[in-house]
Amino acid sequence: MSHLLSCHSLKRQQGDRVLLSVDQLVLELGQTYLLTGANGAGKTTLLRALAGLDSARCANFEFEGVQRSLSPYPRKLHRRIGFVHHHPILFSTSVVANITFGLHATGASRPEAAQRADAAITWAGIRPLVDTPPQALSAGEKQRVALARVHAMDPVLYLLDEPTANLDENGRDLVTRLIDAISKEGRTLLIACHDRELLNLSGVTRLNMTAGRLEVAS
């Protein structure tokens, strides 16, 4: 396997408080990582830093073999790295408009955005939801729309923050199947989750966070 992402001394500080202090993080191409840790351990903070949503410092950040900075975060990485929030925020427009929004924002033409959104809707099995107002969707349905939205961008790295938390068994199953499909497409996933809901996925690497520090779990 080859490195997709590597960084050293990844730090995020708020005032005097160190929220993140990761000596080394290496993500291999095509691998799925489950990131566990107690509430407040820093899982979301790590995902948000890698997605460029919060600033963080890093001694040596390499992505797809190219030296990058985390701060300022390169625009190009927003297409390569997709983040899905624990409670995805959807615009009160339509499911399709939610999926095409990011595509338009990153320069896709109207026909291309429409075609990619349509493919993502098929992929996620959410065609029956396209006429439902986004704000009326259930938590599991929102999560699947959010996964379709990020899948339409075709990122190489997916950062998923507790994608199955608070879902019933059926919702968990549907979301897990999409995650499994992403993994089978050869993409890399870093998924924050809690021990009690560890996803039923094979061949994963477990990472654990404690007080902003990262370790490979046994």
Ligand X SMILES: Nc1ncnc2c1ncn2[C@@H]1O[C@H](COP(=O)(O)OP(=O)(O)OP(=O)(O)O)[C@@H](O)[C@H]1O
Q: Does 16 bind ligand X (CB under 6 A)?
A: no
Residues that bind Mg ion (CB under 5 A): 43-44
Query: Could you identify the residue written with the tokens 């708020």?
Result: 14
Q: How far apart are CA 174 and CA 145, in angstroms?
A: 12
Q: Does 44 bind ligand X (CB under 6 A)?
A: yes
CB nearer ligand X, residue 36 or residue 100: 36
User: In the set 9, 14, 106, 122, which binds ligand X (CB under 6 A)?
Assistant: 14
Q: Does 164 bind ligand X (CB under 6 A)?
A: no
User: In the set 1, 2, 16, 39, which binds ligand X (CB under 6 A)?
Assistant: 39
Q: Does 144 bind ligand X (CB under 6 A)?
A: no
Minimum distance of Mg ion from residue 191's CB (angstroms): 12
Minimum distance of ligand X from residue 72's CB (angstroms): 19
Minimum distance of Mg ion from residue 85's CB (angstroms): 10
Quick one: tokens of 187?
């993409």
Quick one: tokens of 155?
């990122």
CB nearer Mg ion, residue 44 or residue 164: 44
Minimum distance of ligand X from residue 37's CB (angstroms): 5
Q: Does 42 bind ligand X (CB under 6 A)?
A: yes
Minimum distance of Mg ion from residue 38's CB (angstroms): 10
Binding site for ligand X (CB under 6 A): 14, 19, 37, 39-45
